[in-house]
Structure 1
Amino acid sequence: MKAFLGMGLLGSNFVKAMCQKGEDVNVWNRTHSRAAALEEFGAKTFEKVEDAVRNADLIHLTLKDDAAVDEVLIKAAPGFKQGAVIIDHTTTSAEGAIERTKYWKVQGYTYLHAPVFMGPMNALDGSGSMLVSGDQEVIGRLSQELSGMTGKLINLGTEEGKAAGMKLVGNLFLLSMTAGVSDTLSLAKSLHIPAADVLELFSNWNPGAAMPSRMKKITEGNFSQPSWELNMARKDAGLMISAADKAGQKLTLIPAIAKVMDEWIEKGHGSDDWTVISKDNI
């Protein structure tokens, strides 16, 4: 039997998917009405978290942060079945994941951090990606359970906390990409280009496809053979900023990038590939 703690959009759809498979799932949420909404799908709800986990072999969590995970697990602990396994899908710090793994092992329980790159619909249809790292024996035992929840289970090796760190790395990229899209639309508006036309451009031209080769070039430190010189990229950034300023539009990322470009040009890297601005981060 399973328990699932945290009935946000992700957790509730994970539970719906489990119920559709005919699994018995106990659910709990701090706001009980969110848990109660899962009863029509076959889940059994509880107002006290310790009752929800009682007799559960597997306890899944999707909560807010480190503090919430620690608080809920401590409250739930009196109901833990001997040898219960805790699988935490919450996005947390790497340090928190490492500490919880050690702490709950001492208490006689298995804790595995398994964060996800999955939205609510991914949780419902078992697509997307889930990350794990740490004790390979534990991961081996739980791989079937976890693989059934996601389209791809990515095992990052034996290092505790690496899954948590990689989740944050991925989320940083998503935040940066979204801010970049916002700047793109802001510039387009400045130039009287409809958002629909920008969407059509990216439907025909996908710069994201170049991400692996761009990352490879950066990590190899190959800046002396430019495909786009830093001086030229900085010139283009200036045109973007000027166009937006004239139209009264705000750019979030580009002014900050331009400032870093200026620093690297002052160091004498104007003729290098513009990705040299990432050199110190390799």
Structure 2
Amino acid sequence: MTTDVPGRPSVAVLGTGIMGSGMARSLLRAELPVRAWNRTRSKAAPLATDGATVADTPEEAVRGADIVLTTLNDGPAVAETLTAATPGLRPGQVWLQSSTVGLDATTGLAHRAADLGLVYLDAPVSGTRQPAEQGTLTVFVSGPSHARATVLPVLEAIGQRTVWVGEDPGAATRLKLVANTWVINVVNSVAECLNLAEGLGIDPQLFLDSVKGGPLETPYLQGKSAAVLSGDLTPSFALSTALKDSRLILDAAGAAGVRLDLVAASAERFTRAEAAGHGAQDMIATYFAGRAE
């Protein structure tokens, strides 16, 4: 069980899925006291072995914490958890909101934080399971600059780089949506290359070998292709989450008057793959959306 240590901010981690559990362990390695909560308690329970205090409710987790870190799936989940945590919150607590929730939800959460007297930092992260577990995420942060010193130990524990985007809550989320546009389009490009190779009777490995060492090779191409070819679709970033993010990107683009044809097509592929039962697998399972029936 963790205990508060002078000079080390205590952190309530709300949401211990793929990303939250990895971030919690990174905080614990940095010797920051962690209180962890998850809707399904069994997902948080293993963190006790690493030194976290596992709470039964969001209220219990946040009570007395210096920093509240939310790593939940979407806007409604964050809003619901905030409501449950409210009796344990106090004015002046710093809320590091790292869930990818989209622009409208970010604005709404910032307003709720202001009503509660919380210091709100919009702080989505770029990275998947392995960077979360290794503490090598990139963290995009926007919010009041006076909170930077307070959250610095947390940011240094979970990430290898922090990009300060500005004071405006929502600025970091806008950058995250741009970054995710790149990832979503790339993963579907990898899947389509493998689909076409298979359809044309070409060994996919031959394609991978043909670009190896050249300017078109990327570790991402090789890694995601290896996952498909080996059949190991353990999620680093779940397909259903990628679909959620695709829809958030399209909503933001529509509001900005921008047409994103590739993201729209990616969302369609994710939708088909999810309907076929691949939602809980890694997002490269979009590969199955391109296979012949």
Instruction: Tell me if both proteins adopt one fold, taking TM over 0.5 as the criterion.
Output: yes
Unaligned runs of 5+ in 1: 210-252, 257-282
- In the alignment, does 2:12 pair up with 1:3? yes
3-state SS of the aligned residue for 1:148?
helix
Distance 2:67 2:178 in 1: 28
Partner of 2:28: 19
| 8 Å contact kept, 1:5–1:61 | yes
Q: Indicate the residue corresponding to 1:198 in structure 2.
A: 207
In the alignment, which residue of structure 1 is the partner of 2:132? 123
| CA deviations over 1:95-119 (Å, ceiling 9, x no partner) | 2212222321232111111101121
Alignment: residue pair count: 212
What is the root-mean-square deviation of aligned Cα atoms in Å?
A: 2.1
SS of match in other structure, 2:59: helix
- Determine if contact 1:57/1:81 at 8 Å carries over to the other structure: no
Aligned residue type for 1:207 = L
The change in CA–CA distance for 1:10 and 1:206 in structure 2 (over 3 A counts) is same
- One-letter amino acid matched to 2:158: M
- What letter matches 1:43 in structure 2? A
Query: Structure 1 vs Structure 2: percent identity of aligned residues?
Result: 30
Q: Which residue of 2 aligns with 1:156?
A: 165
Larger relative CO (CA 8 A, sep 6+): 1 or 2? 2
1:204-223 aligned at under 5 Å gives the runs: 204-207=213-216
Report what 2:41 is aligned to.
32
> How far apart are the structure 1 equivalents of 2:172 and 2:88?
28
For residue 86 of structure 1, report the CA deviation from its aligned partner: 0.9
Structure 1 runs (4+) greater than 4 angstroms displaced: none
Q: Secondary structure, in 3 states, of the residue corresponding to 1:156?
A: strand
1:20 and 1:134 map into 2 onto residues whose CA distance is 26
Aligned partners of 2:105, 2:148: CA distance in 1, in Å?
Answer: 19
Alignment partner of 2:56: what SS? coil
1:208 is displaced (CA, Å) by 7.0
In 1, Cα distance between equivalents of 2:43 and 2:139: 24
**Aligned pair 1:81/2:87, yes or no?**
no
Tell me how far apart the structure 1 counterparts of residues 194 and 21 of structure 2 sit (CA, whole Å): 34
Q: Distance in 2 between matches of 1:91 and 1:164?
A: 7
* Native 8 Å contact 2:30 2:157 kept in 1: no
Q: 1:180 is matched by which residue type in structure 2?
A: S
- Cα distance change on mapping 1:96 and 1:179 into 2, 3 Å: same
Greater Cα offset, 24-33 or 131-140: 131-140
> 1:161 deviation in Å?
0.7
Instruction: Please tell me whether residue 113 in structure 1 is matched to residue 117 in structure 2.
Output: no
Q: What whole-Å deviation, never above 9, does each CA across 1:9-59 have from its counterpart, x for those lacking one?
A: 111111112222222111110011111121111111111211111111111
Q: Which amino acid aligns with 1:71?
A: E
How much does 1:184 deviate?
A: 1.2
TM value normalised by structure 1: 0.69
1:198 is paired with a residue whose SS is helix
5+ residue gaps, structure 2, are: 1-9, 219-261, 266-293
Q: Indicate which of 138, 141, 151 corresponds to 1:142.
A: 151
CA distance in 1, matches of 2:164, 2:209: 36
Q: 2:136–2:161: 8 Å Cα contact kept in structure 1?
A: yes
Larger Rg: 1
